[in-house]
Amino acid sequence: MRKIICLSVLFASSAFGQLQPEPTGRIESLPASYPESWILLQDGAFFHMLNGKVIVVDAASDDSAGRVKGMFNTSFIAQFYQLKSRPEIVIAETFMSRGNRGERTDVLTIYDKTSLAPTGEIVIPPKRFSAMPTNYNLQMLDDEKIGLVYNFTPATSVTVVDMIQREYLTEIPIPGCSLVYPMAGRAFASLCTDGSMLSVQLDQDGNQASSSRTAVFFDANNDPLMEKAAMIDGIAYFPTFLGRVVPVDLTGTEPKVGEEWSLIGNEAGGWRPGGLALTATDSSGRMYVLMHPDGYEGSHKDPGVEVWVFDVKTRRRVDRIELGMPAISIGLTRGDKPMLVATNIELEIDVYDVASGEFQRTLNDTGAQTPFLLHGAL
Amino acid sequence: MKWLNGWLDRSAEFSTRGIAQRTSRRGFLGKFAGVVVGGAVTVPLLPVARSQDNPAPLEEGDPNSCEYWRYCAIDGFLCGCCGGSVNSCPPGTEMSPITWIGTCENPVDGKSYIVSYNDCCGKSSCGNCLCQRNEGDRPVYNPRVANDINWCLGTSSSIYHCSTAIVIGTALDE
């Protein structure tokens, strides 16, 4: 019976022509500049941290298979940085020589955006900060010539890397302070436990040339700054647990603390900012914040049910987007007509049109299990 | 994926507060305090200096439930669901000597106890009983009270497996 079926298929094929032999070994590639509608899902792989990944997805596509464009691996809750000046993506990751045991090696891995293949690697001290990913564990300075990696042993320091020569330069202690926020030239800032900010200025060799400390300007216990700032035109907008915003101008080589304002205004209902990646920005410089009502002590990582949109210049809320399903992280696609993407509490990605606020689609079947961070593609 | 089923089961009764208090998928580690001297592990010292010797407290509740009182500031997989217990690590893992400490109120006696959330390390994610509660949690620039951090530090492997919740004394009033 099988032979008969095969013969009939062949007969039918010959009646309409037949398939030509196809070449083997074809491998797709991506454009160096990704389309505006693409996003990168940073999957921290919480249930198998040694096998994380970043997946490139077209958020505008309703084709659940075709919208996945490719992926690359990341090891042990890696940190991610998308270069603006070169078609490269940098990953700070950790390997153990025997999988879950053995000698630890930390590296910055450089991926080419077109091939999604690793094209370089810089070995760094095996002490990079191992924690839930945020955008301020790995940053670049000086037109992306200098890379900075935040370390925690729990002594805190910053690894300085030459991204052009692709070599480790030095390590700078930042006792009492954490994370790296890029500043002008070769300077960076860090948030400190005492409620101040440290700034460090590097020389041409990447060594510390000078440093300074602001006065204490926030209460790290009672209404702390959330470290997940929205960065707009070189100004870091830090939401606080209770819903204030503290802008810090990082366009110079020393931080300038600006006048604080309120996310909440006169809104009733106990609204507070909360989530994992709870802030995002669009290409026009608006700030998006994930918000939840009925806030309480400990609600600062709760899923948000709305995204509030702010014009940071006028300090006014200009829009609020009601989410169909509560979300833990948000991101924006780039361009004039951005889409809001949100990791919902089922860990799928919901897409909303920002202009109308309307839900568009859910991106499931992307291969991501715990997409902690969502990055609009460059 | 027990936690996932629990999450979905509860979706009908969703409230923002309820979800975050009882479980979360994004949760992570966190803990602090203790020292490593010359590579040798010693008993945690930092906040413990503020505690009193005390017999084991009388308590109630399910140590494998996220609602259990000791987990007021935990973030990770509960070791009791991984082959360990609330105060021991599963076979073949290594307990981190460096940790962060929460202050949780025992509903039985109304006292606040210092709870050390030592991570168990050296095997990949347990994957069972993920629990995140953020009472007193603060951002990572305040690490002694930040539960987003992997505290598999001072161990031979940095790989996180699960978290314990060890009572180490009663908290003194400020």
Output Rg (C-alpha) for chain B, integer angstroms. 15
| Contact state of B26 with A130 under an 8 Å Cβ cutoff | no
The pLDDT value recorded for residue B173 is 65
Question: What are φ and ψ of residue B80, in 5° steps?
Answer: -65, -20
pLDDT at A312 over 90: yes
Residue A371 at interface with chain B, using a CB cutoff of 8 Å:
no
The pLDDT value recorded for residue A92 is 98
What pTM did the predictor assign? 0.88
Using 50, 70 and 90 to split pLDDT, how confident is the model at B25? very low
Q: What percent of chain B stands above pLDDT 90?
A: 60
| Contact state of B137 with A298 under an 8 Å Cβ cutoff | yes
Residue A78 at interface with chain B, using a CB cutoff of 8 Å:
no
The pLDDT value recorded for residue A105 is 98
| Contact state of A100 with B157 under an 8 Å Cβ cutoff | yes
* Long-range pairs for A119-126: beta carbons < 8 A, 24 or more residues apart: A119/A88, A120/A166, A121/A166, A122/A147, A122/A161, A122/A163, A122/A166, A122/A167, A122/A168, A123/A168, A124/A92, A124/A149, A124/A159, A124/A161, A124/A168, A125/A151, A125/A159, A125/A168, A125/A171, A126/A94
The pLDDT value recorded for residue B36 is 24
Mean pLDDT of the B28-39 span: 26
| Contact state of A328 with B127 under an 8 Å Cβ cutoff | no
pLDDT at B21 over 90: no
Closest A-chain CA to B29: A131
- For A83-108, the pLDDT digits (tens) are 999 999 999 999 999 999 999 999 99
pLDDT at B98 over 80: yes
| Contact state of B8 with A346 under an 8 Å Cβ cutoff | yes
Residue A48 at interface with chain B, using a CB cutoff of 8 Å:
yes
> Active site includes B7?
no
- For A40-59, the pLDDT digits (tens) are 999 999 999 999 999 999 99
* Catalytic position from the list B3, B69, B75, B119: B119
Using 50, 70 and 90 to split pLDDT, how confident is the model at A346? very high
Distance CA B166, CA B114 (A): 8
A contact residues 55-74, partner B, Cβ 8 Å cutoff = none
Q: Which amino acid is present at B122? A: G
Chain A environment of B98 (Cβ under 8 Å)? 154
Report the gap between the CA of A106 and the closest CA in chain B (Å). Answer: 11
Interface predicted TM-score (ipTM) of this complex, two decimals = 0.92
- For A176-213, the pLDDT digits (tens) are 999 999 999 999 999 999 999 999 999 999 999 999 99
| Contact state of A154 with B153 under an 8 Å Cβ cutoff | yes
Taking all residues of chain A, what is their mean pLDDT, rounded to a whole number? 95
Q: For an interface test with B, give the residue of A98, A181, A345, A347 to mutate (most B CBs within 10 A).
A: A345
Which 3-state string (H, E, C) describes A255-318?
CEECCCEECCCCCCCCCEECCCECEEECCCCEEEEEEECCCCCCCCCCCEEEEEEEECCCCEEE
Report the gap between the CA of B16 and the closest CA in chain A (Å). Answer: 6
The pLDDT value recorded for residue B172 is 76
A313 Cβ contact list (under 8 Å, min separation 6): A285
The pLDDT value recorded for residue B171 is 84
The pLDDT value recorded for residue B47 is 37
For residue B62, CA distances in Å to A103, A152, A306, B6, B112 come to 38, 34, 34, 16, 18
> Active site includes B100?
yes
